[in-house]
Amino acid sequence: MSSDWWRGATLYQIYPRSFADANGDGVGDLAGATAKLPYVAGLGVDGIWLSPFFTSPMRDFGYDVADHLGVDPLFGTGTDFDALLADAHRLGLKVVIDQVWSHTAAEHPWFEESRTSRDNAKADWYVWADAKPDGSPPNNWQSWMGGPAWRWEPRRRQYHLHNFLPQMPDLNFHCPAVQDAVLGIARHWLERGVDGFRLDTANLYFHSRGLQDNPPLPEGRRGDAPVLMQQHVHNADQPEAPAFFERLRAVMEGHGARMAVAEIGGAEPLPTMVGYTQGASRLHTAYSFAFLGERPSAAQVLRHLAPWGQGAGREAWPSWAFSNHDAPRVASRWGGGAAGAFAFGGQADAGRVDAGATPITWLALLLALRGTVFLYQGEELGLPQSTLAHEDLRDPYGLANWPLNPGRDGCRTPLPWQADAAQLGFSRAARTWLPVDPAHAPLAVDRQEADPASTLHATRRLLALRRAHPALRLGDLEALVAEGDVLVLRREHTDASGADALLLAFNLGASPATVPLPAASASAPGAAPLFTHAGAVLQGPQLHLPPGAVLFTRLA
């Protein structure tokens, strides 16, 4: 693949703890993931995003890193990772690994040294601040995991910043030595052969040096938790970030065809996504929580896409996800099941779940978008969100906010491989780290393999279309219809081999619709639809879309 292989690519997210357990301890591991790579390659994706497998105390299940270069024994060894990387490349899969650089675990050697005094060699590697005269924290910043974003350290008689758990202190990217150390981590993994990085909470790398209070959100926009009641103007999206990303891009350019994708949280992420990916010297791409909240209308879909068709956005490249390890599964959140109310990194919302759409509808829409696509494990099966008993919860956010918010465990339950096997084929252990969901048994991989009408087979067909059509991977996007829940798009790309133009139509709602199409959107003479779902029919200039219907066809 070319140096810009990531443009329009589809990457499959593997959350190792819940993907496949090879050693029978009830927790997924690298060897288990390696054994299942042929299945992943058989979907037709371009690569994988591998969530953290590094040495960690596991308070936040790997997103609290104690050694950025080590493999946690829970997941295996460095040799196991090298085997996964080699097998993935043999199968034609790129490997993008999570990098958690905004913070570390408290057990990290850097923090253990930094906390000892105000004058040690790493004293400035974390964000330290004096107490106010009354002993209270330096400002009003709130943690995404609950409570103030400051924790007192008696050895320094100072507070340290933690945007997440108190045991996850934030690094100080204003310190040049920190930037150099982080770039050293990047070089290590690039030299080891990975194809890129997913940068966790990339817009939190820098903070305002002045440590000013964050202003409140206007009434009507405030969420239910303190962290959702303020505008994060001083602890996120700081102007120093792009310069660091330019340093990172320069390192990556020296290692060939690699890519970096930033995770951008917050209530207004789209301008930051554009700013971080504009031109050829910053990050390659970025994604946000734009589609990880409530079900959008057709017009809202277009609003999320609009920044990349105008101004600076034309030089940038977005990424999109409808599900991941931080959000309720899209099949429930948008498609009629129990949604839950968790939207990590954005505004919590129970979502609109009255759609007549199915998981296939959402997969088709995701794979129709202009940008790079991330597909979360189980999304290809249409898995719904799991409901766990309180005693089974492991997520610190869910435990802190029960019963109003059950947290993230419901999207992290083990993947069902075999409907009739113990633990649905995920593990031979008597007990798994999160319980397998019996409701997932009918949707297990082996059941869907045997059903040509399954979500799994539809996913493969859609991914094959995206790989076969430059219009889907790279083409410009034009909205022909965006009314209520009906969205009709034109995707077109022209290169040396000719023009490729497609009409893509969706009914995201629960009511049937008949849409007259512009004359310029006539399908190619005699062309059969490339993909249909839920009874979509194109008859002359009329498009008939039952609830949840999808149609892909060539244009003349």
Classified as helix, coil or strand, 108 is coil
Instruction: Give the per-residue SS3 of 193-255.
Output: CCCEEEECCHHHCCCCCCCCCCCECCCCCCCCCHHHCECCCCCCCCCCHHHHHHHHHHHHHCC
Distance separating alpha carbons of residues 106 and 167, to the nearest angstrom: 5
Placement of tokens 């995991």 in the chain:
145
Largest CA distance in the chain: 78
Distance separating alpha carbons of residues 227 and 245, to the nearest angstrom: 26
CB 456 within 8 A of CB 381: yes
Distance separating alpha carbons of residues 88 and 223, to the nearest angstrom: 42
Contacts of 546 (CB under 8 A, 6+ apart): 356, 507, 512, 534, 535, 536
Instruction: Give the per-residue SS3 of 49-105.
Output: EECCCEECCCCCCCCCCCEEEEECCCCCCHHHHHHHHHHHHHCCCEEEEEECCCECC
Inter-CA distances, 336 with 220, 356, 483, 492, Å: 26, 8, 21, 33
Inter-CA distances, 306 with 7, 48, 268, Å: 18, 27, 14
- 319 has which bridge partners? 372
Listed residue (220, 201, 214, 223) closest to 347, CA to CA: 223
Task: Write out the catalytic residue numbers.
Answer: 200, 263
Inter-CA distances, 333 with 193, 448, 545, Å: 37, 22, 22
Classified as helix, coil or strand, 260 is strand
Distance separating alpha carbons of residues 102 and 381, to the nearest angstrom: 33
- 516 has which bridge partners? 542
Classified as helix, coil or strand, 262 is strand
Encoded tokens for 272: 């930051």
Encoded tokens for 163: 């945007």
Contacts of 167 (CB under 8 A, 6+ apart): 57, 59, 64, 105, 106
DSSP assignment of 516-527 equals EPPGGGPBPTTP
Encoded tokens for 464: 């094959």
Distance separating alpha carbons of residues 284 and 57, to the nearest angstrom: 31
Helix, strand, coil percentages (3-state) for the chain, rounded to 5, are 30, 20, 50
